[in-house]
Amino acid sequence: MAAGAAGPGPGSGPGDSPEGPEAEAPERRRKAHGMLKLYYGLSEGETAGRPPGSDPLDPTDLNGAHFDPEVYLDKLRRECPLAQLMDSETDMVRQIRALDSDMQTLVYENYNKFISATDTIRKMKNDFRKMEDEMDRLATNMAVITDFSARISATLQDRHERITKLAGVHALLRKLQFLFELPSCLTKCVELGAYGQAVRYQGRARAVLQQYQHLPSFRAIQDDCQVITARLAQQLRQRFREGGSGAPEQAECVELLLALGEPAEELCAEFLEHARGRLEAELRSLEAELGPSPPAPDVLEFTDHGGSGFVGGLCQVASAYQELFAAQGPAGAEKLAAFARELGGRYFALVERRLAQEQGSGDNSLLVRALDRFHRRLRAPGALLAAAGLAEAATEIVERVARERLGHHLQGLRAAFLGCLTDVRQALAAPRLAGKEGPGLAELLANVASSILSHIKASLAAVHLFTAKEVSFSNKPYFRGEFCSQGVREGLIVGFIRSMCQTAQSFCDSPGEKGGATPPALLLLLSRLCLDYETATISYILTLTDEQFLVQDQSPVTPVSTLCAEARETARRLLTHYVKVQGLVISQMLRKSVETRDWLSTLEPRNVRAVMKRVVEDTTAIDVQVGLLYEEGVRKAQSSDSSKRTFSVYSSSRQQGRYAPSYTPSAPMDTNLLSNIQKLFSERIDVFSPVEFNKVSVLTGIIKISLKTLLECVRLRTFGRFGLQQVQVDCHFLQLYLWRFVADEELVHLLLDEVVASAALRCPDPVPMEPSVVEVICERG
């Protein structure tokens, strides 16, 4: 409105001086424009469509803000030719005229608008004046209304207060009525058995009664209530004590009693006492099942029964207790834990007794299933009652049973091994009666080996049930680690192999060294068995075990090599013992033959003595026996016809060499010298030396022992001429037959030479037999 009012002022300017200097009009217009623009917040540069390059300060710019007509004219005059001047003058005149007309039309238009605006304002002035009057009237009316309202309020105030008071009295009266009715209500509830309702009522009323007990009437009500409550409590307890109803009802009773404010401690003890009664009954029934004599139900049934009866009951008790007596805090929890521990302990004792009965049986799967159920069942109370350690105890029992099972299996394997040995003994004894010796030794060995292996596999399979995935306790650390490595691998398998070695070795130490209670064939067979174990079976069994029981335990286990070494040592000892026993048999024969004969007065030899033939026969038999189980072995390369060859060497040249000094009475020293020189070139013979695992070595050992015995016996006797000759014949005979058995036939020659030489020394009249005659006799015999 103010702008509108100011507008006509400058607008009238151009109208006043339409013929003013041409330069002045645009300037003023521009001034007015600038002010307007200033008012509308537009910058000057934005409105003008000025060419961009022109200088806004240029005083010669007609449209510029700093236009200076004088400068402009001067410039025109100075610069332009006349014609152009003229043109610009006409142009200028034309522009001025156009501008004037524009201005005139603008003035007219604005003038009209101004007039209508003035009219409007005048009308408004009138209207406002009317409105002011009406507003005044309204104000007076409002004042009257306010006045009235205040008056009404003042009059109603009194009534309102009275109504409020009456409502309060009403509520109070209702409460009082409830209180007065409470005793009868409670009685009714108690009669109807709605104990819960009764306890709720009582709970609501208790605080009020407590507060107003100094008033006699309330006191009376309170007394009544207390009497009824006491009765209620008594009834509840009665119900609780009767105990016939199940655990949930009991829990309810206890809950109500707690709400009645009965002492929690006492209740909790009583609750546990009741629970104990019930659980003990369960235990008794379990114990009855155990029974001293009647046929116990199978272990699975037993654990099922125990699981559903006792463990289920315990679970219920525990959860109810924890719900009811949560307020009791750690002391209460401790009480429950102790309770669970005690009863759990008794339950475990029963279970263990039952499981102990199971130890003898062979059925592992049933036992494992029973253990699984037992363990699974105890998880729930275990979770509820972590403090009672039931789950741990259960795991412990399972572990113990597993350990005992391992022991049982080890025992079983040992028994199986011993059984095999007994079978072998019988098998060995039987054919002997039939007159044949050692047939089927290889089959016997195969039988023993396969039977033991199958036993081991069966045991492994049985024990493997303990670690099956679906069994609840298989993921316990014991079953993942120690059970596999220490229990199965070390305890069962390694333990068995060790005990097998020990059993076998015990045959070597048997006191009956004369012949011995152990048949030599058994020694041989065991030795081969141990050797087979060393080469293949042990590593096979252990690999099998490791595969079946993925051993994750880091505890050290016996390496295969140690076991193999033990088995090899056992095999070696057995074979050495075999050699000793067989050597002893033959050497006893030889000894008897030397000791019992009267060598001085014997006749000229016609035959090889029977005992020598027997020796050769026995050696051949042993050779066959050993050949059944052991490989041939290597012997020193000799010509195939060595018996012939060595015979000539032995009986002619060497014999002369050995015997000659004995005959020559001139030089007693020579005997020593020659025999000593001879010994320098022969190696010392270790008679009872350890043997290798092949036939030749075994036979060599036996023959060495026999011949050394012969030598020592010969040295203890004195020979007549024919006695010496008999020894000569015998030795040649042995030579003919024994060389083929030994690794180095030179050894046989050496020992037999020694025998003959010793016999010659022990003969006062040594006249050796002609080699050709010896040969003839031997070939005939």
Partner 1 sequence: MEDDAPVIYGLEFQARALTPQTAETDAIRFLVGTQSLKYDNQIHIIDFDDENNIINKNVLLHQVGEIWHISTSPADRGVLATCYNKPSDSKVLTCAAVWRMPKELEPGSHESPDDSSSTAHSLELLCHLDDTAHGSTACVTWEPTGDGKKVISLADNHILLWDLQESSGQAVLASSASLEGKGQLKFTSGRWSPHHAGTQVATASDTTVRGWDTRSMSQIYCIENAHGQLVRDLDFNPNKQYYLASCGDDCKVKFWDTRNVTEPVKTLEEHSHWVWSIRYNHSHDQLVLTGSSDSRVILSNMVSISSEPFGHLVDDDDLSDQEERRPEEKSQEPPRDGVIATYEEHEDSVYAADWSSADPWLFASLSYDGRLVINRVPRALKYHILL
Binding site for partner 1 (CB under 8 A): 511, 513-514, 584, 600-601, 662, 665, 668-669, 671-672, 675-676, 679-680, 684, 686-689, 708, 712, 715, 717-718, 761-764
Amino acid present at 144:
V
* CB 725, min distance to partner 1, A: 16
For 638-671, letters b (16+ CB in 10 Å) and e give eeeebbeebbeebbeebbeebbebbeeeeeeeeb
Question: What is the 3-state secondary structure of 262-276?
Answer: CCHHHHHHHHHHHHH
Which of 273, 513 has the CB closer to partner 1?
A: 513
Which of 193, 764 has the CB closer to partner 1?
A: 764
Tokens 């209508």 -> residue: 116
Which of 436, 679 has the CB closer to partner 1?
A: 679
* CB 745, min distance to partner 1, A: 21
294's CB contacts (< 8 A; 6+ apart) are none
* CB 533, min distance to partner 1, A: 26
Which of 305, 715 has the CB closer to partner 1?
A: 715
Three-class DSSP category at 15: helix
* CB 709, min distance to partner 1, A: 8
Radius of gyration of the chain (CA): 66
* CB 764, min distance to partner 1, A: 4
* CB 741, min distance to partner 1, A: 20
Which of 82, 669 has the CB closer to partner 1?
A: 669
* CB 751, min distance to partner 1, A: 12
Which of 246, 668 has the CB closer to partner 1?
A: 668
* CB 650, min distance to partner 1, A: 20
* CB 476, min distance to partner 1, A: 47
Question: Within the chain, what is the greatest distance between any pair of CA atoms?
Answer: 195
Which of 416, 711 has the CB closer to partner 1?
A: 711
End-to-end CA distance of the chain: 168
Which of 658, 708 has the CB closer to partner 1?
A: 708
Neighbours of 471 (CB within 10 A): 19
Question: What is the 3-state secondary structure of 179-221?
Answer: HHHHHHHHHHHHHHCCHHHHHHHHHHHHHHHHHCCCCHHHHHH
Which of 64, 720 has the CB closer to partner 1?
A: 720
For 590-625, letters b (16+ CB in 10 Å) and e give bbebbeebebeebeebeebbebbbebbebbeebbeb
* CB 687, min distance to partner 1, A: 4
* CB 467, min distance to partner 1, A: 46
Question: What is the 3-state secondary structure of 414-440?
Answer: HHHHHHHHHHHHHHHHHHHHCCCCCCC
Contact between 354 and 367 (Cβ < 8 Å): no
Contact between 199 and 259 (Cβ < 8 Å): yes
Which of 683, 770 has the CB closer to partner 1?
A: 683
Phi/psi of residue 763, nearest 5 degrees:
-120, 125
* CB 580, min distance to partner 1, A: 9
Amino acid present at 743:
A
Helices (H) and strands (E) in the chain, counts: 30, 0
93's CB contacts (< 8 A; 6+ apart) are none
Which of 21, 764 has the CB closer to partner 1?
A: 764
Which of 82, 680 has the CB closer to partner 1?
A: 680
What is the Cα–Cα distance from 317 to 571, expressed in whole angstroms?
64
Phi/psi of residue 685, nearest 5 degrees:
-100, 120
Amino acid present at 707:
L
What is the Cα–Cα distance from 566 to 551, expressed in whole angstroms?
23
